[in-house]
């Protein structure tokens, strides 16, 4: 039985160069990625000679060399040369399954693992980084809007404006759920700067199991103005995020992209700060309990999908927020 049926996203393909091995994590297992002329290879980050990390070695002509004793391994993971012996040794690296899709490198120990369905379009731009926070709290942060008035004051929404009653509907699916919100007028720099026809937007927040967040914004003409995909994974005590941002604002798209990229960087940095403050504080409380109500359904449903699937919602339901 496949206990972890999904490939894990670890890097954008463009982050891996042919001359440098990179260390990533498959849950709790360190993995080294190597790029050759024809393919990307993944192995446990362990030299079979004395256990040194191969990710600290180097690559030349597709050959991975351990920096401790110089043992060399070819693209198939087989040893091809030991300097002190001046010959090869009969051993090979432990291979990890690797796939490249949507411009992302995915890894798994299971060749039958699945890759979630994402947009086939090329994004306007991408962002990536690490946050010292749990994947549950990061997913909730990326998908719920109630923090935006305070954490992103003036950029997404504002704590100074009069809040508007917004009706919302959560719709379960076989792979997660979506929350559809009513349209709202511009409340932050991101929407104020856009042409008038793109300012009134309705948000759709989608969770795709296991660790994908998708935010979409649609205008009154039912045009999808923006899509933000957050592709997440856990690496030790950190959450790694790979963000793909799509913008559809007609002739304004190139200018919007130049304006939006630094704003999105700022927004993610603000999220990183508050999430890491939260995580640091949680370390002082062994078994924290949280107070949640109907406005917290996004976080509650993600928690159920990750840890308590039998209690997840199976029928659509409505709720109200004030944004």
User: What is residue 38's predicted lDDT score, i.e. its pLDDT?
Assistant: 78
Q: What is the pLDDT of residues 96-153, one digit of tens each?
A: 999 999 999 999 999 899 999 999 999 999 999 999 999 999 999 999 999 999 999 9
Report the mean per-residue pLDDT for the chain: 94
Clarify whether residues 199 and 260 are in a common domain: yes
Q: What is the pLDDT of residues 56-107, one digit of tens each?
A: 999 998 899 999 999 999 999 999 999 999 999 999 999 999 999 999 999 9
Backbone angles phi, psi at 320, to 5 degrees: -125, 140
SS3 state at 226: strand
Q: What is the pLDDT of residues 149-203, one digit of tens each?
A: 999 999 999 888 889 999 999 999 999 999 999 999 988 888 887 888 889 999 9
Q: Which residues form the domain of 33?
A: 8-108
Clarify whether residues 35 and 133 are in a common domain: no
Residue 117 domain flag: no
Token pair in block for residue 145: 């809007």
- Look at the alpha carbons of 292, 175, 96, 123 in this order and tell me if their dihedral is positive or negative: negative
Q: What is the pLDDT of residues 226-267, one digit of tens each?
A: 999 999 999 888 999 999 999 999 999 999 999 999 999 999
Clarify whether residues 318 and 247 are in a common domain: yes
Last residue of a domain, one of 43, 76, 108: 108
Clarify whether residues 174 and 87 are in a common domain: no
Clarify whether residues 164 and 246 are in a common domain: yes
| Nearest to 49, CA basis, from 76, 80, 70, 28 | 70
Q: Which residues on adjacent β-strands are paired with residue 235?
A: 27, 238
What is the Cα–Cα distance from 128 to 107, expressed in whole angstroms?
17
């Amino acid at each position: 039985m496949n206990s972890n049926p999904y490939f894990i996203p670890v890097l954008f393909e463009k982050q891996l160069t042919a001359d440098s091995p990179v260390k990533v994590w498959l849950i709790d297992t360190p993995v080294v990625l190597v790029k050759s002329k024809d393919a990307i290879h993944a192995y446990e980050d362990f030299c079979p000679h004395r256990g040194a990390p191969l990710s600290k070695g180097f690559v030349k002509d597709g050959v991975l060399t351990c920096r401790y004793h110089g043992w060399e391994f070819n693209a198939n993971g087989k040893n091809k040369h030991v300097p002190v012996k001046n010959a090869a040794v009969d051993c090979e690296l432990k291979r990890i399954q690797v796939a490249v899709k949507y411009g992302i490198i995915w890894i798994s120990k299971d060749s039958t693992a699945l890759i979630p369905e994402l947009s086939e379009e090329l994004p306007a731009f991408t962002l990536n980084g690490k946050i010292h926070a749990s994947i549950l709290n990061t997913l909730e942060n990326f998908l719920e809007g109630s923090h935006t008035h305070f954490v992103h004051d003036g950029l997404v929404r504002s704590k100074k404006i009069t809040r508007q009653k917004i009706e919302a509907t959560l719709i379960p699916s076989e792979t997660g759920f979506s929350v559809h919100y009513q349209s709202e007028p511009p409340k932050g720099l991101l929407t104020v700067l856009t042409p008038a026809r793109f300012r009134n937007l309705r948000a759709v927040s989608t969770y795709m199991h296991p660790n994908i967040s998708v935010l979409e914004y649609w205008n009154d003409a039912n045009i999808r103005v923006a899509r933000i995909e957050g592709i997440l994974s856990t690496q030790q005590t950190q959450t790694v995020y790979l963000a793909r941002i799509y913008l559809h604002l007609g002739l304004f798209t190139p200018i919007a992209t130049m304006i939006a990229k630094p704003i999105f960087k700022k927004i993610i940095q603000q999220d990183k700060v508050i999430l890491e403050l939260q995580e640091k504080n949680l370390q002082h409380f062994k078994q924290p309990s949280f107070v949640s109500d109907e406005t917290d359904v996004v976080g509650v449903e993600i928690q159920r999908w990750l840890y308590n699937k039998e209690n997840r919602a199976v029928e659509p339901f409505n709720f109200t927020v004030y944004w």
